[in-house]
Structure 1
C-alpha cells in the first residue's frame, strides 16, 4: 500500500509506532502530524489541535488519515452528541479515520486483549503511555491514581510491538519502578506485532484511494 499522497494526523501517543513504521518503510506519508499526547483529558484542546493539524495537512495534500479512536479519545461532556467524527466531518471531504475505539484497540483488538488478559482485569497501555506519562496523566495526583489503578488486579500490560519496553527497562529501570509504585500495580511488557495496526491503516488508505 502506498501512502505517499496521504497526510496522517495522529495523537502523539502513537508517535512511537508510526515513526517505527515510517523508518521500516511501511509508511511513506506525504506528511505526518502529531497532536500533544494525552489530550483525551482536555477535549477542548484536543478539538483545537486536531482541527489545526487537519487544516495544515489540507494545505499539503487532499487526502487525510486521522489516527484517533472513535469512542474514548474525545468525550465532550457538555455535548455528548458531538463526537470526534463530527469534528472530522466538519473539516470537509477526503478525510478518513482509523476504525478503532482507542490506541490500545489499534494495536490489539478486543478479543486479542481478552485472550492476553487471561481472565484478569488488566490496565492496557501502549509505549506512548509510558514515554509520555506526565502528559497523559497531567493533573493526576496519588489520590486519583489510588482510585483508578489498583482495581486492575491483572496489573498494567504494555502492548509493545516495537521493542520499546526492553530498551526502557534497560535504560530507565528506576523510572519504571517509580511509575509502577505511583499506579500501585505492576507494569509488564506484552509483546505483540504491528499487523493489526498496519491492516487498519491500509484499510483507510484504500478507502481514501477509492
Structure 2
C-alpha cells in the first residue's frame, strides 16, 4: 500500500457523504476503484445501518487490502436497546484491516467544532445553527424519512440562526439555480432559512489520509 495512495484501500461510507467522496474521486485524490455506499439516513434505523455496514465491509475486504469506514461515531449510531454497543465496537469486530475516520458525525468530517463555532458567530451572531452537508439536501427524503411537518416544527425553528450547509463542492448554489422552487419548499418545511457556507475539503482529506496511515502501520507491522 503506497503511503499516499488509496489504490489498495476500499471505502465504505454513508451515502450522505457520496457528494464529497465522488468529488474527491473526480479530482484524483481518492484513487480507489472500490467504494461502497450504505443508504443515506440510516442513523434513524440502526439495525439496518449495522447490517448494511457489515455487509459492505465484508465486500470491501474481499477486494482490497484495507478498508476505511466513513461514518461518524456517537451521533450516527445510537443503540437504545444496547446502549454500551458503539460504532467503535462494530468497527473493531471487522478486523485489523478495517478502520474508521475520527469524527462524531458527517458535519464534523468537514469542519471542526471550533470552525463551526466561528461560522455560527460569523453568520448568525452566535444564535443556534442547524448544520448540514450537501447530502442532507440531496437525500432529504431519506435523511428525514418519516418526518412530518409537526416533527420538523419541533426541531428546526429553535435554531434561530437558520440552517447552514457546509459546502465544499458548490452544491447548494447549483441546487438553488436548478431547483429554486424545491429549495424554497425545503426552507418552508424546515421553517428556517438555509444558506451555504463555502469550505475546502482539506479537513476531510486529512481525516482520510490519517486512517490510510493507520492502515499502513497496522498492515506492515
TM-score (ref. length: structure 2): 0.94
Equivalent positions of 1:175-190 (< 5 A) are: 175-190=182-197
Aligned alpha-carbon RMSD (Å): 0.7
* Alignment correspondent of 2:71: 68
Q: C-alpha distance in 2, partners of 1:48/1:177?
A: 35
Q: C-alpha distance in 1, partners of 2:90/2:214?
A: 19
* Alignment correspondent of 2:98: 95
Equivalent positions of 1:169-180 (< 5 A) are: 169-180=176-187
Q: C-alpha distance in 1, partners of 2:78/2:152?
A: 20
Residue 44, structure 1, aligned to residue 51, structure 2: no
Unaligned stretches of 5+ in structure 2? none
Q: Is the 8 A contact 1:30 1:61 kept in 2?
A: no
SS at match of 2:63: coil
Give how far 1:93 is off: 1.7
Q: C-alpha distance in 1, partners of 2:33/2:179?
A: 34
* Alignment correspondent of 1:124: 131
Q: Is the 8 A contact 1:38 1:136 kept in 2?
A: yes
Q: C-alpha distance in 2, partners of 1:103/1:148?
A: 19
Q: Is the 8 A contact 1:158 1:189 kept in 2?
A: yes
Equivalent positions of 1:195-206 (< 5 A) are: 195-206=202-213
Give how far 1:30 is off: 3.9
SS at match of 1:189: strand
Runs of 4+ off more than 3 Å? none
Q: 1:36-94 CA distances to partner (integer Å, 9 max, x unpaired)?
A: 00000000000000000000111111300000001100100111110111111112221
SS at match of 1:52: helix
Q: 1:150-175 CA distances to partner (integer Å, 9 max, x unpaired)?
A: 00010000000001011101000111
* Alignment correspondent of 1:32: 35
